[in-house]
Structure 1
Amino acid sequence: MSLSATHSHDFLGADHDRNARRTWIVIALTATMMVAEIVAGNFYGSMALVADGWHMSTHAAALLIAALAYLFARRHAADSRFTFGTGRLGDLAGFASAIVLALIALLIGWESLLRLFAPVSISFPQAIAVAVIGLAVNLVSAWILHDRHQHHGHGHGHPHDHHHDHDHRDHGAHDHHHDHAAGRDNNLRAAYLHVLADALTSVLAIMALVAGSQFGWAWMDPAMGIIGALVIARWSWGLIRDTGTVLVDYLPASEQLPEAVRRAIETGDDRIADLHVWQVGPGHHAAIVSIVSRTPLSPSAYKARLAHLERLSHVTIEVEAVTA
């Protein structure tokens, strides 16, 4: 048995560093506009504008969580204390951001209900001008964060054969049976949803303010706040669901990787007795494959059967010979 072979546990997404830089840029834009909208909303009396500014402030905090998660994951990517690397820190940050997004929706909804029953006077022209500027900033931020390319990650191309029944390796190849969500950077997605929520609130604020100024429909301002809260809550739930499943090692029914492993391994007398597949980072999965066979092969032979599954970045193979 040789214990000298080593391999990487760097399971960060393919665009990890680029996404980190984009997040810091959006933080600067968001923080600047946040101050402007809170001050202007209170001065001109617009609940929609105040709501946009205040939830933009919490978005700035959530964006900071995302940026710090990128930084921490990169700095500790080679830290052996993280058994399977730091690839899932983005999902943890995304889950935290989703909770913040849910709290934002609750806060906007509550404040809007209060304003619906206790209206305040609004300075429409000034409030509309600030809301339009806020929308422009939000759209620029969303454009910066929008992931225009689906990257599913690749292994590191360093196979290792330890000549015993536990074979660990990193490799890259081609997996044509994959779920597009598996390679998604949920940390970037969380940041994107936060600025998208900002943009939605800005649009609703502008609609409400224009309706109020043209037709005297002051009730539109808090009503739009309630609609925005409901939409943001729905986005929050989707993000909680998707990040939470990664954190608890749950694979959705649409994930075809386990079945692909079975098809590759189970030929002749070889059967899989136990199989565990889970996500360890954007576009990266790990697997433990326990194989029973009357004519067992070496772990490296079974490893070769899985070489085409590019998202399978870390594998442990256990082989047991059976006589019956």
Structure 2
Amino acid sequence: MHGGGSVGTAGAKHAKRLAWALAMTATYMIAEVIGGLVTGSLALLADAAHMLTDVGGLALALLAIRFAAREATPQRTFGYLRMEVLSALANAVVLLLLTVYILYEAYQRFQSPPEVLSGPMLIVAAVGLAVNLVSMWLLSSGSSESLNVKGAYFEVLSDMLGSIGVIVAALLMMWKGWVLADPIIGAGIGLFIVPRTWSLLSQVTHILMEGTPPNVDTAAIEKKLLAIPGTVAVHDLHVWTVTSGFDAMSCHLVVADMSAGREALREARNLMKAEYGIEHTTIQIEDEAMRGEETVLHV
């Protein structure tokens, strides 16, 4: 028996603001790559890689909204919800590879610092800071209503710190002539990407392996299900994440009297929704005899 619910998101009404922030961030990221190549600044290129995390985060936020609205099909019973997870996996792998390149390039520049055009570098970084501030303003209202939008907001906030770092490097080179400021800031931004990217990769892997959501204790769930009147056993309990904000649960509930099965099912579904926010449940009601038959078949 199934108890499904809507997989809509509170961030849907902020989709346009997310789209504007994504368009601005992606456009500036391209400009930053060009600026980094023209000026010879590793810090700008590193910040462009950091900005790629924002582009990925904003794109994933929009994916979560758009794909959650699509209807499932007989071939894809969960629709396209896993597209968000696959996109996050690709994003994490690309970012880790970029970080390796940035750190290697920083090492090379420590050995032989190239000439960097600090003036144009400062202008590009200042424009980037302005873009980040506008994007933060666009997302600020939705960040208090949706975890999806909140995540995108913090992505942009962290990139603003990267832009400030590039500005500091440019000023140090202009005023003090300290050419090592560029590779140092560049390596710093590259290292700043690693923990966030590794965390993203860990979350994605956990979801693809159908691991239990971090906020869910299956032992506690089993104990609460057993407390439902008439329930004598719980087995084959699984809780997993389909995509961010959409968890699912399945189990077999063994009752002493099948006539009480309907009420036990209702209480189990209400428990999962009220205490864990899980609306998509698949709960099989059975008695001891049926459980015995299953045990024989499994053996």
* Number of residues of Structure 1 aligned to a counterpart in Structure 2: 284
Distance, in Å, in 2 between the alignment partners of 1:255 and 1:196 is: 29
Distance, in Å, in 2 between the alignment partners of 1:22 and 1:245 is: 30
Aligned partner of 1:160 in structure 2 is none
Choose which of 37, 42, 45 in structure 1 pairs with 2:40: 45
Partner deviation per Cα, 1:247-293 (whole Å, 9 max, x = no partner):
22111554236623541443455221321122234433322221223
- Residues 40 and 105 of structure 1: CA distance in aligned 2, closer, same or farther (over 3 Å): same
Aligned partner of 2:295 in structure 1 is none
Residue 231 of structure 1 deviates from its aligned partner by 1.2
State the SS of the aligned residue for 2:102.
helix
1:62 aligns with 2:56: yes
Distance, in Å, in 2 between the alignment partners of 1:6 and 1:316 is: 5
Give 1:32's aligned amino acid: T
Partner deviation per Cα, 1:201-232 (whole Å, 9 max, x = no partner):
32221222222222222111101111111110
TM-score, normalised via structure 2 length? 0.78
Gaps spanning 5+ residues in structure 1: where?
A: 152-183
Distance, in Å, in 2 between the alignment partners of 1:33 and 1:137 is: 8
Aligned partner of 2:297 in structure 1 is none
More helix by share: 2
1:286 aligns with 2:248: yes
Choose which of 77, 80, 83 in structure 1 pairs with 2:74: 80
1:91 aligns with 2:49: no
Choose which of 101, 123, 129 in structure 2 pairs with 1:107: 101
- Residues 84 and 281 of structure 1: CA distance in aligned 2, closer, same or farther (over 3 Å): same
Choose which of 172, 195, 198 in structure 2 pairs with 1:234: 195
Aligned partner of 1:309 in structure 2 is 272
Gaps spanning 5+ residues in structure 2: where?
A: 293-299
Tell me if structure 1 keeps the 8 A contact 2:60–2:84.
Answer: yes
Choose which of 284, 287, 291 in structure 2 pairs with 1:318: 284
Give 1:279's aligned amino acid: T
Tell me if structure 1 keeps the 8 A contact 2:7–2:68.
Answer: no
Residue 108 of structure 1 deviates from its aligned partner by 2.1
Tell me if structure 2 keeps the 8 A contact 1:10–1:85.
Answer: no
Distance, in Å, in 2 between the alignment partners of 1:292 and 1:54 is: 53
TM-score, normalised via structure 1 length? 0.72
- Residues 141 and 64 of structure 1: CA distance in aligned 2, closer, same or farther (over 3 Å): closer
Distance, in Å, in 2 between the alignment partners of 1:319 and 1:25 is: 48
Deviates more, 1:119-128 or 1:68-77: 68-77
Aligned partner of 1:133 in structure 2 is 127
1:213 aligns with 2:179: no
- Residues 258 and 138 of structure 1: CA distance in aligned 2, closer, same or farther (over 3 Å): farther
Q: How does 1:163-312 map to 2 (within 5 A)?
A: 184-185=147-148, 189=151, 195-196=156-157, 198-252=159-213, 254-256=215-217, 259-260=220-221, 262-270=223-231, 271-306=233-268, 307-310=270-273, 311-312=277-278
Give 2:255's aligned amino acid: S
Partner deviation per Cα, 1:122-156 (whole Å, 9 max, x = no partner):
232332122121122123334545662365xxxxx
Tell me if structure 2 keeps the 8 A contact 1:10–1:87.
Answer: no
